[in-house]
Amino acid sequence: MTKEIPEVFSGTVEVDETYMGGQWKNKRLRTKRTEPESKRGKGTTKQAIFGILCRKSEVYAQLIDGVKKKDLQPIIQKRVSRGSTVCSDTWGGYTGIATKGYVHRMVDHGKKEYSDLKGGHINGMEGFWGYLKRNLVSRGGIRKSRLKYFLGEYVWRYNHRKLSLKNQTIALFNLIANGKTGVHY
């Protein structure tokens, strides 16, 4: 599932970042004794995830080390074709993306803006983060080392959500049969 990712998006895309890692009150006692309390936003010890959602159909997400301009913009340039409309929030990591050949639409969540009159919003991407987090919470917690696999699974599930369960199963068997899994028997 983690190998089947969309190539390049075009048209109107939404970009956003989020953090995974659970609430401090739910951490293991061993973790609370050895690590400082994780705070929100800059300086957090949680894992950052960056995502791109094409409004036509699919989503792409990956674990990232940081959420600065140097971390986010190369991913956008690799995954989104020039001339596309990039919708984001006002996070500084997206500043200057318009100079790289994109139309940039922003919403300022701090001012309670969630959409503009020209269709600029990141509600679809926010919806995917909610979908991902709800499903991971139902697992009862996962190891940070395995987060990339769960992320890949839920990206795949989201991208194939319109298929019936039977067709999803067939698609998975085709992935295995074509050797895209990296697993050798």
The pLDDT tens digits along the chain (185 residues) read 777 777 788 889 999 999 887 655 555 666 656 666 555 555 566 889 999 999 877 999 999 998 899 999 999 999 999 999 999 888 888 989 999 999 988 887 666 666 665 667 778 888 899 999 888 888 777 788 888 999 998 999 998 888 999 998 998 888 888 865 444 33
Residue 185 lies in a domain: no
In this prediction the pTM is: 0.79
Residue 5 lies in a domain: no
Closest listed residue to residue 82, CA positions, set 138, 148, 13, 137: 13
Domain that holds residue 161: 12-177
What's the structural domain count of the chain?
A: 1
Residue 81 lies in a domain: yes
Residue 75 lies in a domain: yes
Tally DSSP H helices, then E strands, for the chain. Answer: 5, 5
Q: Do 84 and 11 form a contact (C-beta atoms < 8 A)?
A: yes
Q: Which CATH number characterizes residue 109's domain?
A: 3.30.420.10
> Between the CA of residue 89 and those of 67, 95, 113, what are the distances in Å?
13, 10, 9
Residue 7 lies in a domain: no
Residue 118 lies in a domain: yes
Q: What does 110-175 look like in DSSP terms, one character per residue?
A: GGT----TTS---HHHHHHHHHHHHHHHTTT---GGGHHHHHHHHHHHHHTTTS-HHHHHHHHHHH
Residue 124 lies in a domain: yes
Residue 6 lies in a domain: no
Q: State the Cα–Cα distance between residues 159 and 26, nearest whole angstrom.
A: 31
